[in-house]
Structure 1
Amino acid sequence: MSSPLSSRAGRRPFRFGTPAFIGATLTLLMLTGCAGPTAGPGTAESAQRECVASEIPLTELAVLDAPRDWVGPSTACLADAGITAIDSPDEPQLPVTVIDDKGTEVTVTDASRILAVDVSGSLAATVFGLGLGDRVVGRDSSTGFAEAAGLPLVTTGGHQLSAEPILGLAPTVILTDTTLGPPAVIEQLRDAGIPVVITTSKRNIDTIGTVIEQVAAALGVPDAGERLTAQLHADLAAVQADVEAIAPTDPAERPRMLFLYLRGSAGVYYLFGEESGADALITSIGGRDVAGEIGWQGMRPVTAEALVEAAPDLVLLMTKGLDSVNGVDGLLESIPALASTPAGQNRRFVDMSDTEILSFGPRTPQVLDALARAVYAPEQSGPIGE
């Protein structure tokens, strides 16, 4: 843990880390890109695809001799899309007082009705991972795992918070971050007497433990948070060791990858670079982050020059993003420069569910495993993604 957990009753408030900044670009991107339904025949096609993962252990797969040269798209599928809670979950010890990521002192006295919402679905997944999923009363549009599927949706227009449906659920505590808005709704909820805890908005592999720590502190289960983090780190280490075992030994033979965020219906085409989270995802599955190699920072509209310079062998995508441009053919038509890259010429695109690929929560080890299968053993990874 990055700092001692001192949120138990009778102790000084637990203070979250230095307020983390996530660029307004990402929030705008998500709000714009997901505001409406995806368009085109790819949407129906995606709905008909059942994503089924191979049960063969990662290190026993028949992997490609030359993953940079494979021709054709593939889809990364989780073996189990659910959230596995830690053993013997703790009962919340309340009240607790925390200093949240915005510097606000918040006292939580009741965790019987939890609402955890953010743009990536990480917060709800963390609550379920802590074994408190039966207390969650609603969900955001990025929370797509089965255990939460029956919960009422509280975000509108993609990722906009609305006070009325939230108040209707009578939550006793709300966990969120700065990726959902508008801020006025947060103030309205606080004015209604609901404790609202703002967590860090940074999402990458290195911050998963921080998110768990902050959520666990706010809900009065810091020890459970420590156990979940330890379990997560052990699982991550195991998966990354397996990836290293199947990835090419020579760095020059490892596939050159980049991540594109697409919402064709909204005309949104973004390239995710350094400090976007996608860079850590790529290196964790044994790929070369070519956006980083060309100095691409953060999340910005893609340019033809950047694609040509990056010359990726493989492009990672969200499934609905690929659907929104009508599949691989539509993608190459929408971004002509992509067709001149090795990825475009080989139609080498790997898609994964929007609610999984960048969620950075308790399922991250499984996400890395699924992506590695789609990259190094595409014929054994799941359905073809077009």
Structure 2
Amino acid sequence: MRFLRRAALPVLALTLILGGTACGADHAAGGAQRGHATATLDGLDPVPIGPEPTPALPATVRSFDGAEVTVTDAGRIVAVDRSGTLAQTVFGLGLGPRLVGRSSSAAFPAVRQVTNVAGGNGSLNMEALLALRPSVFLTDTTTVTPQMREQLRATGVTTVYFDPTRTMDGVAPLIESVGAALGVPEAGKALARRTAAEIDTAKAAVPKQDKPLTVAMLYLRSTAITMLAGPGSGADSLIAALGARDAGTASGLQEPFTSITSEAMIAAAPDALLVMTDGLESIGGVDGLAKIPGLAQTPAGRDKRVVDIADSVLLSFGPNTGRVLAALAHALYGPTSA
């Protein structure tokens, strides 16, 4: 199941809201910070690893589709994927001034004026892409359909494909791969090292628990689209890094996103919910969660324990990942995780 997004995402501070009555965290019992907890990530722009580097080109790399691709010019970069990861990485490498096209999921402030060439579900507008005259197009094998790949080859656009899967372990290797493709391998290695270190620090700060929380990530767009995340969604990797169990995976889901039924939600039995800010607002906030089938019969539903986070950062595995993870852990478990 493809991950869905709105065509335009507001850039928000990283905010998490946990429902219930305020009190301390109960780590030994797998509890979360109770009551209303808000964590803010100051600055959603990835921090560049240094000044804008000068690409050493040509650079020949193996694309994820199996082809060897030679990049000869990185002056006009278009970076499109469903999570906004590639555009974030280009910016983190210090090559932000060369970015001329992006996907709507790359919604951090520094790229607001960069042309959007992909819709809310990651679909690519080929005409808009070609109008930008990209010197190199960075994308993945999910965003670009086989028919589009043939069209790109026919038009001669230099295209490098990357793995569409987003996991915590894949963050650093993806950053290095983007750096290599753009002729800045040393910047790629440096950014990967910094990001990996930030992730390790954030994970080490997560309090140990005798009974981990079970957390469900829900994708909501009014009552018309209600989906539960499972294996391969990216949410499973993020939840594991927070020392918790992914409810969808633990309940036996086989797909990254599955339409919610009462049976699936009750079987998942989450202690807490992870949702996007826009999605939560689209159903009327925390009180609107009562409309989700089966949710009232779960611990999270009874306690109204909800983690609400800006759409543009939830699954945007990239240079910001360590800082996002630290903010999530601090809000979920309380100050002792800092």
TM-score by length of 1: 0.77
Distance 1:304 1:72 in 2: 26
Distance 2:191 2:120 in 1: 33
Change (3 A) 1:63 1:373: farther
Specify the alignment match of 2:220 in structure 1: 262
Specify the alignment match of 2:13 in structure 1: 51
Question: Of 55, 70, 78, which aligns to 1:107?
Answer: 70
Identity level (%)? 43
Change (3 A) 1:258 1:353: same
Tell me the CA shift for residue 178 of structure 1.
Answer: 2.1
Task: Tell me the amino acid that sits aligned with residue 173 of structure 1.
Answer: V
C-alpha contact (below 8 Å) 1:76/1:351 kept by paired residues = no
Question: Of 290, 303, 306, which aligns to 1:332?
Answer: 290
Asked if 1:177 is matched to 2:134, the reply is: no
User: Aligned to 1:90, what secondary structure does the other structure show?
Assistant: coil
After TM superposition, the structure 1 = structure 2 runs for residues 155-234 of structure 1, keeping only pairs within 5 Å, are: 155-156=118-119, 158-234=121-197
Distance 1:52 1:128 in 2: 19
Could you give the per-residue CA deviations for residues 102-140 of structure 1, whole angstroms, max 9, x where no partner exists? 112222110011001100000001111111111000221
Asked if 1:64 is matched to 2:22, the reply is: no
Change (3 A) 1:345 1:256: same
Tell me the CA shift for residue 214 of structure 1.
Answer: 1.8
Change (3 A) 1:332 1:229: same
C-alpha contact (below 8 Å) 1:114/1:136 kept by paired residues = yes
Structure number with higher helix proportion:
1
Tell me the CA shift for residue 63 of structure 1.
Answer: 5.7
Specify the alignment match of 2:210 in structure 1: 251
**Structure 2: segments with no counterpart, 5+ residues:** 17-22
Specify the alignment match of 1:271 in structure 2: 228
Stretch moving more, 315-324 or 273-282: 273-282
Task: Tell me the amino acid that sits aligned with residue 301 of structure 1.
Answer: S
Specify the alignment match of 2:309 in structure 1: 352
Q: CA RMSD in A?
A: 2.7
Tell me the CA shift for residue 198 of structure 1.
Answer: 0.7
C-alpha contact (below 8 Å) 1:70/1:348 kept by paired residues = no
After TM superposition, the structure 1 = structure 2 runs for residues 231-380 of structure 1, keeping only pairs within 5 Å, are: 231-243=194-206, 247=207, 249-252=208-211, 254-264=212-222, 267-299=224-256, 300-333=258-291, 335-377=292-334
User: Aligned to 2:302, what secondary structure does the other structure show?
Assistant: helix
Distance 2:299 2:24 in 1: 20
Could you give the per-residue CA deviations for residues 46-102 of structure 1, whole angstroms, max 9, x where no partner exists? x7x963779xxxxxxx96246737655655532221110112553211112222111
TM-score by length of 2: 0.88
**Structure 1: segments with no counterpart, 5+ residues:** 1-24, 39-46, 55-61, 382-386
Task: Tell me the amino acid that sits aligned with residue 116 of structure 2.
Answer: L
Change (3 A) 1:181 1:329: farther
Task: Tell me the amino acid that sits aligned with residue 179 of structure 1.
Answer: T
Specify the alignment match of 1:14 in structure 2: none
C-alpha contact (below 8 Å) 1:89/1:224 kept by paired residues = no
Distance 2:261 2:178 in 1: 38
Change (3 A) 1:83 1:37: closer
C-alpha contact (below 8 Å) 2:24/2:34 kept by paired residues = no
Tell me the CA shift for residue 186 of structure 1.
Answer: 3.8
Distance 1:363 1:219 in 2: 20
C-alpha contact (below 8 Å) 1:240/1:285 kept by paired residues = yes
User: Aligned to 2:183, what secondary structure does the other structure show?
Assistant: coil
